[in-house]
Structure 1
Amino acid sequence: MKISMLRSRRAAVAVALGSVLALTATACGDDGSGAAGDKGAEGSGKGEITFWDNNGGVRTDIWKEVIDDFEQANPDIKVTYVGIPAASAQSKYDTAIQGGGLPDVGGVGTAMLAEVAVQGALEPLDGRLEKSALKGRLSENLLESSRAAGGGKELYQIPTSSNNGTLWYRTDLFEQAGLDAPTTWEKFYEAADKLTDRSRNRFGFTTRGGEGSIAPALDAAYGQAGVTSFWKGDKTTVNDPKVVAGLEKFLSLYKKDTPSADVNNDFTKMVAQWDSGTIGMLSHNLGSYQDHLKALGPKKFRGLPNPTLADGTRVQVSNPVDGMSVFKSSKNKAAAWKFVEFAVSHAENSKFNKAAGQIPANTEAQKDAWVQEAEPTKLAAAALNGAGTKIVQLPYYLPDWNTISKADNEPNLQKVMLGKMSAKAFLDLLAEQLNEAQADWKQNH
């Protein structure tokens, strides 16, 4: 029943989107500045190009600094900046793909990369990277994530940043309890149990049961299972018995070693709850670092990469990767590529990520002083590129991924937490939906 509903929704959304885009194209027409069917041109490598920032408002100031630096180094190229709020970036690109008006170059995160690429809007970048000074200077794991998110064959995005998963823990509470840092899953569970005193409203861990809960839950499940691929042939591994066991153990912490409010917490509530000072550990990403500093000061907490298995192997699911793409319709791809190369060069990528609080994609930038001084970022960068880290690539390329991993299954994960559904039943249903979505995707591509 659930699968047929998903199929019906998929068909309905496709028809509705087609109608909307057709109306947009009729109303606006192709203004000559680029639509998906336009093959564009290499251009002179000089003149004007347009850049769309897909996180406008949040990253506007730092992007304008990068653009100023670029124009000083390349006085024969002028970059027009257009800031688009993150919430509307996907729809803005979709409209421009059909109606014209695409930029020469733009920010395209992995969560939307496949949908933009499958419409034929993006320029493949393998050949350009092969001849570039960037070759060998970008994180291989992030490049792999970029390639996988675009469908797995061609590279449509040059990564700029990653916001890695981090286990934050209260060093003062650990010291008082005589606990080792939670570097392994065994130590994590030991600490969660020992730091919990429900009579005093103290808990070892806080988890995320509300909006955005599926990816962190899968991160913990795969991390313990040691399963390193999301697919085995055409079938997902999400309901592999080891993954099921990992999720069962992780969710068993709810209400035993976590607050009962966790079942409804999104990341903002979860972070605020941890910053209040009575909880031992929190699993979130580097984005909450500044919140912790303000609430706790620099000496009461640390941020570590995800725990490892007993043999030292760290398995983690892929995090969304920010990056830049060149649009196929650009009339000046040479200048657009120059801007990409410049923005992801050592100095500029370091400057950008210092402001953004993220891990630079440029491996030389990862060695800079600010990264080394910010221990959570330093450790996350080392883990991301470490030989012992295995990345499970989530299927961002599936058009149904967001629907399946959010609207369809966040309520089901809450049912598991509340004891109204088993972890196995939850993951079996998730697997059924993913397998069908994968089969549809392969048939169409």
Structure 2
Amino acid sequence: MRFERSHTRRAAAAAVVGSMVLFASACGGDGGDSGSDGGSAGGALEGRGPITFATGKDTSGNLTNQVAAWNSQHPDEKVTVSELPESADAQRQQMVQNAQNKQDSFSVLNLDVVWTAEFAANRWVVELPQDQFPSLGNAIPATVETAKYRDKLYAVPITSDGGLLYYRKDLLDKAGVQAPTTWAEMQAACQKVKALPEGKSLNCYAGQFEKYEGLTVNFSEAVNSAGGVVVGKDGKPNVDTPEALAGLETLTNGFSTGEIPKAAITYKEEEGRRAFQEGNLIFHRNWPYVYALAGKTDGSSKIAGKFAVAPLPGKDGAGVSTLGGHNYAISAFAKNKATAADFIKFMASEERQRANVEKTSQAPTWASLYDDAALQKQFPYLTPLKASIEKAQPRPTVVKYGDVTAAIQEAAYDALTNKKPPKQALTDLQTKLSSLITN
């Protein structure tokens, strides 16, 4: 999920890759548990006519084509895109405010995968009958789970996301090194590339480290890739551990040694993409959407034909991605819910998902598309990406996600900016999350 787009990303995101990024501290209290089980607050899926689609800024440029395909076939039920800000934090804030005021200005909501529980529990989106959405049976199971709350369906997965390591293949080849599978290998590869005349001015690595949802994703991936967890399978936070510390210290050490440039503390998805695309980075963590943009041969990318992708590295082997992506849900306060449901089915169809992959390189939710020979030729990363998504770890599935992610961002940012030692930041985070996450 790319968070700038929602990523995602996100993002997330960001993402997700969140993911990928989402929630600033100022809006952290918006996601309180209503004490309900969620439900169809807006009634049955009835009513036909024009609808509004609320979504993050479309940096891919293809959403217009997707919506135009629907509008050409449904002249009496046209979709108007309400493009929200690039920041996922701001997107969610506007959607929450719209729901809290019970406004009908948004019909279909483009939700980051981690927003499902909050929106469902607060009855801001309607429960969907699973038998009316046949595309679910063709989707990667992990993506369908992101659209559920308490085993009930409240959204439909449209795009998925897994973090990828983009790297300058031309420079690694010249330095005689392979794509790294561990953090130590990545550091060694950077040193060899920087020893080359054309590599000495490049920065080693960057991800998404601004205080937004993308930081939650990058922190979670570092912790998971060191063998730790943010929230365990028992639903309890578990960040005050040696494994979590090893993950966080990978990032803090990167900043202190200069392997991660100081400017990266301001990077969201797009800032990082531009730095990589302009030829300033050897390695870059981002979502699949970057592949199409970085590969453009119209002069907008200085590295077209010079890069490749690999799984994220980890402490002792391949790393673990955070599960990103976006789901479409129907606002509980929307008019024309029947049209909204049909629009979601249209966008979730294999035809629309294929068209979107071909134009944007965003990760689909249809499992079969990852194995399609023509798409694999165009996007070689699809096979490793599918594996990444299938084993990716979700961010905490909690109703108070806004508060939880804000706490994670605060702790990680404090450590990255030397406001707190990593160990103290994690101890404080454990205390904070324990107060926010209750079973």
Distance (whole Å) between structure 2 residues aligned to residue 138 and residue 353 of structure 1: 15
Counterpart of 2:188 in structure 1 is 190
Counterpart of 1:438 in structure 2 is 437
* Pair 289,399 (structure 1): closer, same or farther in 2 beyond 3 Å: same
* Pair 230,215 (structure 1): closer, same or farther in 2 beyond 3 Å: same
Distance (whole Å) between structure 2 residues aligned to residue 326 and residue 135 of structure 1: 16
Counterpart of 1:98 in structure 2 is 101
TM-score by length of 2: 0.75
The correspondence of residues 287-326 of structure 1 with structure 2, limited to 5 A, is 287-293=289-295, 294-307=300-313, 314-319=319-324, 321-326=325-330
Distance (whole Å) between structure 2 residues aligned to residue 12 and residue 203 of structure 1: 34
Distance (whole Å) between structure 2 residues aligned to residue 155 and residue 414 of structure 1: 38
Counterpart of 1:50 in structure 2 is 51
Counterpart of 1:405 in structure 2 is 408
* Pair 409,117 (structure 1): closer, same or farther in 2 beyond 3 Å: same
Secondary structure of the residue aligned to 1:134 is helix
Distance (whole Å) between structure 1 residues aligned to residue 379 and residue 27 of structure 2: 47
Residues 53, 106 of structure 2: 8 Å contact kept: yes
Counterpart of 2:362 in structure 1 is 358
Residues 66, 343 of structure 1: 8 Å contact kept: no
Secondary structure of the residue aligned to 1:302 is strand
Residues 164, 380 of structure 1: 8 Å contact kept: no
Counterpart of 1:158 in structure 2 is 156
Structure number having the greater helix percentage: 1
> What is the percentage of aligned positions where both structures have the same residue?
18
Counterpart of 1:375 in structure 2 is 379
Aligned length: 392
Structure 1 residue 270: deviation in Å?
Answer: 3.6
* Pair 207,136 (structure 1): closer, same or farther in 2 beyond 3 Å: closer
Residue identity in the other structure for 1:435: S
Structure 1 residue 336: deviation in Å?
Answer: 3.3
Structure 1 residue 259: deviation in Å?
Answer: 5.1
Distance (whole Å) between structure 1 residues aligned to residue 161 and residue 176 of structure 2: 31
* Pair 109,70 (structure 1): closer, same or farther in 2 beyond 3 Å: farther
Residue 112 (structure 2) pairs with residue 109 (structure 1): yes
Residue identity in the other structure for 2:267: D
Deviations for 1:101-132, whole angstroms, at most 9, x for unmatched residues? 2555332233543443232122223xx32454
Q: Which of 256-265 and 196-205 deviates more?
A: 196-205
Residue 126 (structure 2) pairs with residue 120 (structure 1): no
Structure 1 residue 182: deviation in Å?
Answer: 1.6
Structure 1 residue 181: deviation in Å?
Answer: 1.4
Counterpart of 1:6 in structure 2 is none
* Pair 133,166 (structure 1): closer, same or farther in 2 beyond 3 Å: same
Residue identity in the other structure for 1:120: R
Structure 1 residue 347: deviation in Å?
Answer: 0.3
Deviations for 1:274-332, whole angstroms, at most 9, x for unmatched residues? 344354211122233345334334331112232367576x522222x212113345565
Distance (whole Å) between structure 2 residues aligned to residue 351 and residue 231 of structure 1: 37
Residue identity in the other structure for 1:240: T
Structure 1 residue 435: deviation in Å?
Answer: 1.6
Where has structure 1 moved over 6 Å in runs of 4 or more?
A: 9-12
Distance (whole Å) between structure 2 residues aligned to residue 306 and residue 142 of structure 1: 20
Structure 1 residue 48: deviation in Å?
Answer: 1.9
Distance (whole Å) between structure 1 residues aligned to residue 67 and residue 433 of structure 2: 40
Deviations for 1:209-258, whole angstroms, at most 9, x for unmatched residues? 43443421321221122x46722535312233212122223432334351
* Pair 271,132 (structure 1): closer, same or farther in 2 beyond 3 Å: closer
From 338, 341, 358, the counterpart of 2:342: 338
Cα RMSD after superposing both structures: 3.6
Residue 421 (structure 2) pairs with residue 415 (structure 1): no
Deviations for 1:47-90, whole angstroms, at most 9, x for unmatched residues? 4252423136656513422413653xxx8x72342423144564
Residues 192, 280 of structure 1: 8 Å contact kept: yes
Residue identity in the other structure for 1:165: G
Counterpart of 2:34 in structure 1 is none
Unaligned runs of 5+ in 1: 1-8, 16-35
Distance (whole Å) between structure 1 residues aligned to residue 272 and residue 317 of structure 2: 31
* Pair 152,266 (structure 1): closer, same or farther in 2 beyond 3 Å: farther
Unaligned runs of 5+ in 2: 1-24, 32-38
Q: Which has the larger radius of gyration?
A: 1
Residue identity in the other structure for 2:370: Q
Distance (whole Å) between structure 2 residues aligned to residue 47 and residue 157 of structure 1: 19
Residues 208, 265 of structure 2: 8 Å contact kept: yes
Structure 1 residue 342: deviation in Å?
Answer: 2.1
Residue identity in the other structure for 2:422: A
Deviations for 1:147-179, whole angstroms, at most 9, x for unmatched residues? 3xxx55433121101243111111122112211
Residues 323, 389 of structure 2: 8 Å contact kept: no
The correspondence of residues 196-235 of structure 1 with structure 2, limited to 5 A, is 196-197=194-195, 200-212=200-212, 213-225=215-227, 227=228, 230-235=231-236
Distance (whole Å) between structure 1 residues aligned to residue 45 and residue 281 of structure 2: 56
Distance (whole Å) between structure 1 residues aligned to residue 63 and residue 275 of structure 2: 30
* Pair 195,311 (structure 1): closer, same or farther in 2 beyond 3 Å: closer
Deviations for 1:373-425, whole angstroms, at most 9, x for unmatched residues? 34365145322454xx242433464231343234x335403234xxx633221
Counterpart of 2:5 in structure 1 is none
Residue identity in the other structure for 2:321: Q
Secondary structure of the residue aligned to 1:159 is strand
Secondary structure of the residue aligned to 1:236 is coil
Residue identity in the other structure for 1:206: A
Q: Which of 283-292 and 153-162 deviates more?
A: 283-292
Counterpart of 2:135 in structure 1 is 134
Q: Which of 361-370 and 428-437 deviates more?
A: 361-370
